[in-house]
Amino acid sequence: MGATMSSCCGNDVDEERFMGSTGASSTGDGIRSTWKIFTYKELHNATNGFSEDNKLGEGGFGSVYWGKTSDGLQIAVKKLKAMNSKAEMEFAVEVEVLGRVRHKNLLGLRGYCAGSDQRLIVYDYMPNLSLLSHLHGQFANEVQLDWKKRMNIIIGSAEGLVYLHHEVTPHIIHRDIKASNVLLDSNFEPLVADFGFAKLIPDGVSHMTTRVKGTLGYLAPEYAMWGKVSESCDVYSFGILLLEIITGRKPIEKLPGGVKRTITEWVEPLIAKSRFKDLVDPRLRGNFDEAQLRQTINVAALCVQAEPEKRLTMKEVVNLLKDYAPSRSKLNGLRMESIKYGDDLMNMDQNSEDEKEMDTESNVYGVFGAMEVRKMTDPYNNYGGDRKKILHG
């Protein structure tokens, strides 16, 4: 293993297969889970020289390109931004650890390439792209996601997170649960991507500024404010994702006049008035299971509690969602808590900047119960330093 890890891009020895992970399949499509170290040349050829035409998108850590290997496998290659301070060996070890994580709802690594100035991670290409593209992107008008598919995506993603939080050793906190990190295979089965990514980034490099852009709406208040990371941060983000899937709304929307509103602020008064049906994405044209909707919204409410201790665990989330039975819904009447991020954080968010949507219910902004994150007391009393780092990148 040491020999393969010390080799790098452009070296023929790199073709050697990693022997540690064989057998299990990483996706519902029956794709083999073996992975390997790729040469730079291989990935360059597969992606047509990392051409703009092959680019699937760009995230906080680099760009992702579609490609096809010489043996016909469709891949997605994430080309990480230059990061010289992360030693090649250290990077390789961490990628190999993540590469061993296998679950039907987690997008496993197909391989990587690491050279003196290159860091590339290879995944299987997911033909139905991300959940984001179906909710708010290029497929938004096609409405391929009916109620059943949405529930399947919710439960599958939750099961992937249960595996990360409770089953893999050591446990992995994702830290970046959001619609672009839930990918969909040819059967619309969800695969959570980019888990453990924080581990691949050198210590001391703050990606918080980048991450807040487009991610802020998913961040648990204690993480946004004090950098306090735990499994329950993922649970909070999952609750926001759940609301997004049900309502078809973005985590943060810009209202006419420039005010930004979080999804919980929109949802909360509707729940308080028991207007559950009004929460559902209008693109579903009323085709949904009402009892299942209530149960799911209640689970979301228990995920987005401001205090981490009050949130469910991912195991409880899956149990509640799967154990769903109309008569056994004990959670009715629960109150949603809505988080209002401070202006300094809100100004860093740029995802909702181009929001053109006009909102006829803008008068519900600033709803009863909304809590300003900046006014929360720090229950941990020791995150002052981190907070400074978070707010100022």
Ligand X SMILES: Nc1ncnc2c1ncn2[C@@H]1O[C@H](COP(=O)(O)OP(=O)(O)OP(=O)(O)O)[C@@H](O)[C@H]1O
Binding residues for ligand X, per CB under 6 A? 56-61, 64, 76, 78, 123, 125-126, 129-130, 176, 180-181, 183, 193-194
Looking at beta carbons only, is 176 or 337 nearer to ligand X? 176
Report in angstroms how near the CB of residue 119 gets to ligand X at its nearest: 13
> Could you tell me the sign of the dihedral formed by the alpha carbons of 381, 386, 388, 392, in that order?
negative
| 181 binding Mg ion? (CB under 5 A) | yes
Q: How many CB atoms lie within 10 A of CB 68?
A: 15
Question: What's the rounded Cα separation, in Å, for the pair 388 and 393?
Answer: 8
User: Is 260 known to sit in a ligand binding site?
Assistant: no
Helices (H), ranges, the chain = 2-6, 40-46, 88-99, 131-135, 147-162, 208-212, 221-226, 231-247, 263-272, 290-303, 314-322, 343-348, 384-392
Taking CB under 5 A as the criterion, the residue among 88, 96, 159, 194 binding Mg ion is 194
Which one of ligand X, Mg ion, none is in contact with 361 (Cβ closer than 5 to 8 A by kind)? none
**144: number of Cβ within 10 Å:** 11
From the list ligand X, Mg ion, none, which binds 183 (C-beta under 5 to 8 Å, kind-based)? Answer: ligand X
Cβ proximity to Mg ion: between 177 and 299 the closer is 177
Q: Is 141 left (phi over 0), alpha (psi -120 to 50) or beta?
A: alpha
Minimal distance, residue 174 CB to Mg ion, in Å? 11
Least Cβ distance, residue 37 to ligand X (angstroms): 18
Closest listed residue to residue 209, CA positions, set 348, 82, 385: 348
Q: Which residue's CB is nearer to Mg ion, number 132 or number 300?
A: 132
CB-closest chain residue to ligand X: 59
Q: Which is nearer to Mg ion, 78 or 294 (CB)?
A: 78
For Mg ion (CB under 5 A), the number of binding residues is: 3
Q: Give the integer Cα–Cα distance in Å for 351 and 214.
A: 4
Neighbours of 337 (CB within 10 A): 18
Give least dist CB 290 to ligand X, A. 31
Interaction partner, residue 61 (ligand X, Mg ion, none; CB < 5-8 Å by kind)? ligand X
Neighbouring residues of 300: CB distance < 8 A, sequence distance ≥ 6: 239, 242, 243, 246, 267, 336
Minimum distance from CB of 183 to ligand X (Å)? 5
With CB cut-offs between 5 and 8 Å by kind, which of Mg ion, ligand X, none does residue 242 bind?
none
Nearer to ligand X, 123 or 288 (CB): 123
Q: Are 198 and 175 in contact (CB under 8 A)?
A: yes
Residue 176 annotated as catalytic: yes
Question: Which residues make beta-bridge pairs with 57?
Answer: 64
User: Which position among 176, 185, 234, 386 bears the catalytic label?
Assistant: 176
Q: Tell me how far apart the alpha carbons of residues 115 and 378 are, in angstroms, rounded to a whole number.
A: 42
HSE (CB half, 13 Å, CA atoms) of 164?
33
Of 51-59, 275-283, 318-326, 343-351, the window that binds Mg ion (rule: CB under 5 A) is: 51-59
Annotated binding site: 79
Q: Which residues are catalytic?
A: 176
* Site for Mg ion, rule CB under 5 A: 59, 181, 194
Annotated binding site for ATP: 79
